[in-house]
Amino acid sequence: MKIDEQLQAGDLKKGIDRFWDLSGEKINLINKEYDTTQGSPVFTVNGKYSVRGWTEWTEGFRYGSEVLQFDATGEEKFLQSAKAQTVARMAFHVGHFGVHDHGFNNVSTYGNLLRLMNEGRIGENEWERNFYEVALKVSGAVQADRWTAIKDGGYIYSFNGPHSLFVDTIRSVRALMVSHLLGHALMGENDKKISLLERGIWHCFNTARYSVYYGEGRDQYDQWGRTAHESIFNINDKNYRCPNSQQGFSGFTTWTRGLAWAMTGFAEQLETLPLFTDDELNAFGGRKTVEEIFLKAARATCDFYIDHSSLDGVPYWDTGAPNLHKLGDYAAKLSDPYNDFEPIDSSAAAIGAQGLLRLGRYLSEGGDTQNGNRYYQAGLTVVKTLLQEPYLSVDPAHQGLLLHTIYHHPNGWDHTPEGAKIPAGESCMWGDYHIREVVLYLQRLIENRPYYRYTGSVRSSH
């Protein structure tokens, strides 16, 4: 991609204002038209949200989007709707032992609402605060119970089973961090108290070790910053076996949404480290060691994204997609969601942009302004692209906000328009949520408001 070195966050102000107008219209349209009895909305088909059964991992993004809309605009109706829907529909997700998605569903809803209370944006209410805190405490413990022990620590296993580590879960691990910071733990057999921080950091370590590549010769396709969607372990002897992919082209190529989860997940965990004491981090080699592992993974994945995205900062769905070569040097061209060969995944761009911005700010605040500016400007470049057509949905009848997203291309789940050869023109719930989140992140910086972070749900973080 070509990084716009001159772009400033304030330059996007006009586009951000337009964005929130469109965002509110989309939320209103979904609330008016969508039949909630059919399940959680996942992605659009011909502009209307539909269900695709796998797991219920997207519902929190729907109501979390309403919280973000209120945060950005102050429109009370979105807050009231989010509160009502969270109470009515999110309890199942708090106690859901069958998924690895607690950081998506519950931090996006209960966490954002508690954050707003901590910021004084919504009124202080003891029982409401206790409600949000209990939900977040339990969610983190339930997530941590999906645990596979290996020779070095362990990991939160995916819905595929105890042998499976998903790169996605690096952003769901924040459920454990929030729960720990709220003073909670997982209670095991014989009242054994299990540290959520310990499980969270071990999960991060093993994601960094097995899901991210560093050009150090692990296999024939090892490259700085490449990621594997899934890492497979033998749960009998606790050994790593091989990379795999559920939604990418293969275990030896990079599914770009998985890459984006790693970019943002590790950048967020870097920002979270100051909230833990030296004593807490000494069990993992000390603060410096933990930071080095997180920073290496964050920088590697962000570098890979920059090198393998289109000129405007939007990636195709997998950097090893079999027909990508037919596009020529795609990284030297503007992204083309209407090509005939391989689809774009703008949801990866919306997620990854936040990782670039957060990593850039983290490095700059630590004194590395040269590298910090590079990542930060790359993030701004991506957001500028997504705030414009053809990625921003301006059709008043289309329920989606961010166009040209992909869910599961290998399974053929995504809608291909009539006359087209590849999926295009549709939205997904996680893409719509994450474009709102990164735009809110920038808006708060522009307006000099409190820095947006998931640990805002913990009072001690302010």
pLDDT single digits (tens) 99-116: 999 999 999 999 999 999
Please write the tens of the pLDDT for every residue from 252-281: 999 999 999 999 999 999 999 999 999 999
* Confidence band for 55, pLDDT divided at 50, 70 and 90: confident
pLDDT at 313 over 60: yes
Band of residue 342 on the pLDDT scale cut at 50, 70, 90: very high
Would 208 be classed as within a structural domain? yes
Q: Using the predicted structure, report yes or no on whether residue 179 has a pLDDT greater than 90.
A: yes
Find the CATH number of the domain harbouring 305. Answer: 1.50.10.10
pLDDT at position 460: 63
Q: Could you read off the pLDDT of 391-408 as tens digits, one per residue?
A: 999 999 999 999 999 999
Torsion sign (Cα): 169, 377, 73, 456: positive
Asked whether residue 163 is assigned to any structural domain, the reply reads yes
Assess contact for 171 and 265: CB atoms under 8 A. yes
Residue 52's pLDDT is 78
What's the pLDDT score for residue 39?
86
Rounded distance, CA 47 to CA 146, Å? Answer: 36
Across 13-23, average pLDDT = 98
Cα–Cα distance between 246 and 260 in angstroms, integer? 16
340-368: average pLDDT: 98
- What is the dihedral sign for C-alpha 449, 455, 459, 462? negative
Whether 381 is in a domain gets the answer yes
Q: Residue 149 — pLDDT band, cuts 50, 70, 90?
A: very high
- On whether residue 51 sits in a domain, the answer given is yes
Which domain does 317 fall in, by range?
9-461
The confidence score (pLDDT) of residue 461 equals 46
Domain assignment present for residue 38? The answer is yes
Task: Annotate the chain with three-state secondary structure.
Answer: CCCCCCCCHHHHHHHHHHHHHHHHHHHHHHHHHCCHHHCCCCEEECCEEECCCCCCCCHHHHHHHHHHHHHHHCCHHHHHHHHHHHHHHCHHHHCCCCCCCHHHHCHHHHHHHHHHHHCCCCCCCHHHHHHHHHHHHHHHHHHHCCEEECCCCEEECCCCCCCEEEHHHHCCCHHHHHHHHCCCCEECHHHCEECHHHHHHHHHHHHHHHCECCCCCCCCCCCCCCECCEEEEECCCCEEEEEECCCCCCCCCCEHHHHHHHHHHHHHHHHHHHHCCHHHHHCCCCHHHHHHHHHHHHHHHHHHHHHHCCCCCCCECECCCCCHHHHCCHHHCCCCCCCCCCCECHHHHHHHHHHHHHHHHHHHHCCCHHHHHHHHHHHHHHHHHHCCCCCECCCCCCCCCECCCCCCCCCCCCCCCCCCCCCCCCCEHHHHHHHHHHHHHHHHHHCCCCCCCHHHHCHHHC
d(CA 302, CA 224): 10
At 160 the pLDDT is: 94
- Looking at the 3D structure of the chain, how many domains does it have? 1
| 15-20 average pLDDT score | 98
Q: Which neighbouring-strand residues pair with 43? A: 50, 428
Helices 196-210 and 126-144, axial angle in degrees (round to 10): 50
Q: What is the residue-averaged pLDDT of the chain?
A: 96
Percent of the chain with pLDDT over 70: 99
Residue 53's pLDDT band, with cuts at 50, 70 and 90, is: low
2 belongs to a structural domain: no
Q: Are 128 and 116 in contact (CB under 8 A)?
A: no
* Residue 138 belongs to a domain: yes
Confidence of residue 462 (pLDDT cuts 50, 70, 90): very low
Amino acid at 71: D
| Percentage of residues in the chain having pLDDT higher than 90 | 97
The tens digit of pLDDT for each residue in 79-92 reads 999 999 999 999 99
Q: Is residue 206 part of a domain?
A: yes
